[in-house]
Amino acid sequence: MVTLADVAQHAGVSASTVSYVLSGKRSISASTRARVERSIAQLGYHPNAGARALASSRSNIIALMIPLRTDMYLPVMMEIAIAVATTARGHGYDVLLLTGEEGPAAVRRIEGSALADAMILMDVELEDDRLPLLREASRPGVLIGLPADPAGLSCVDLDFEAAGALCAEHLAGLGHREIAVIGEAAAVYERHTGFAERTLNGLRERSGELGLRLLHRPCEGSYAAVAATLARVYDERPGTTAFVVQNEAATDPLLALLRQQGRAVPEDVSVMAICPDQLAAHASVPLTSVAVPAQKMGRHAVEQVVAKLEGRAADGVVLLAPELTVRESTGPRPVPVPPVSPR
């Protein structure tokens, strides 16, 4: 194991000089710097993380807490996690992966042990147990999601209200009057993760202004569940001409079922989704969608957290503006065919 002292000896300088070369916190003459850098390279020196953390009280680690739930939108979580890890590395940080399992105790543990310099929390609920602890913590934290009370915290999320509104506008603009929302599984609403409710609020409000009739049904992602929900929708609102889907797993089954029922998309019925772009683009009918920008969210969260660590950012909520991409699954409202009058 190569140590700072080894490098110092090899370069013929003192240990502190090597340290200053590494950190840049004091000026070093060009010749000394070069000599030290050569020694570092030759010896293959890497600073010991523990010693560094102990001496500087900075671990250069960011903790990322992901939900444990294995039932839901894993791809989005994974994309965020990868974006977080990649961005963090770019800023010289490593990422510690925590699962939601430990709950608030994890926050305390990280804080107490100085394992990480900061935390990023995913899957935040409206009244999350971890938030009070995070507010008191001496280390910065950033949420991906939006709790009921974001005071004293930094948050990054998609503006789901605006996303909902955007959907309503798009469909209203195409002349639709009755639309159905295929939502997340009921459990998601019960957990009050917020994003689903916010989408719904946005949809409802804008729909009201635009004179759309809205029907919302939570729905599991399985084929059978989508089939049941669809049947119910047409039963309750036969005049439905457009769907908004906010459940990644439900889009494919929905398209398959509509096709099976002889309803052409978008000629007979329009479908739009709130989901990652990749998914929308690869569906059996490329879907008009509002993107869930997983990568961007991960990147923003890290940048926010790093900014706070460097003391050049305050708390605040960042809501990313939703972007609508029109693909092939939405079209004008079909002209209602007048029933053939029996003569």
Residues that bind DNA (CB under 7 A): 1, 3-5, 12-17, 19-20, 22-23, 25-29, 31-33, 45, 47-48, 51-52, 54-56
- Residue 134 Cβ vs its own copies, minimum distance, rounded to whole Å: 16
Strand blocks (E) in 13-93: 61-66
Note whether 151 binds its own copies by CB under 8 A.
Answer: no
Residue 162: Cβ within 10 Å count: 18
Say if residues 131 and 152 touch (Cβ distance below 8 Å): no
Q: Shortest gap between Cβ of 113 and DNA (angstroms)? A: 8
Specify the residue, 40 or 172, whose C-beta has the smaller distance to DNA. 40
Q: Could you tell me what percentage of the chain is helix, strand and coil, using 3-state DSSP and rounding each to the nearest 5?
A: 45, 15, 35
Fill in the DSSP letter of residue 42: H
Closer by beta carbon to its own copies, 36 or else 81: 81
Least distance (Å) from DNA to the CB of residue 1?
A: 5
User: Using the rule CB under 8 A, which residue among 15, 137, 228, 256 binds its own copies?
Assistant: 256
The C-alpha atoms of residue 181 and residue 160 are separated, in whole angstroms, by 14
At its nearest, how many Å lie between its own copies and the CB of residue 213?
29
Q: Shortest gap between Cβ of 305 and its own copies (angstroms)?
A: 15
341 binds, among DNA, its own copies, none (CB under 5 to 8 A by kind): none
Q: Which residues pair with 182 in a beta bridge?
A: 217, 245
Q: What is the largest CA-CA distance in the chain?
A: 107
Q: Are 2 and 46 in contact (CB under 8 A)?
A: yes
Q: Which stretch binds its own copies (CB under 8 A): 79-87, 193-201, 264-272, 326-334?
A: 79-87
Q: Any contact of residue 70 with its own copies (CB under 8 A)?
A: yes
Q: Is 97 in the site for its own copies (CB under 8 A)?
A: yes
Residues 261, 256: Cα–Cα separation, whole Å: 9
* DSSP structure string for 189-213: HHHT-SHHHHHHHHHHHHHHHHT-E
For its own copies, the binding residues in 155-194 under the rule CB under 8 A are none
Contacts of 51 (CB under 8 A, 6+ apart): none
Pairwise CA distance, residues 10 & 30, whole Å: 17
Give yes or no for residue 101 binding its own copies (CB under 8 A): yes
Nearest to 298 by CA among 318, 328, 275, 327: 318
Toward DNA, which CB reaches closer, 55 or 231? 55
User: Which residues lie near its own copies (CB under 8 A)?
Assistant: 1-2, 44-54, 57, 59, 61, 64, 66, 68, 70, 74-75, 77-79, 81-82, 85-86, 89, 94-99, 101-102, 108-109, 111-115, 221-223, 249, 252-253, 255-256, 259-260, 282-284, 295
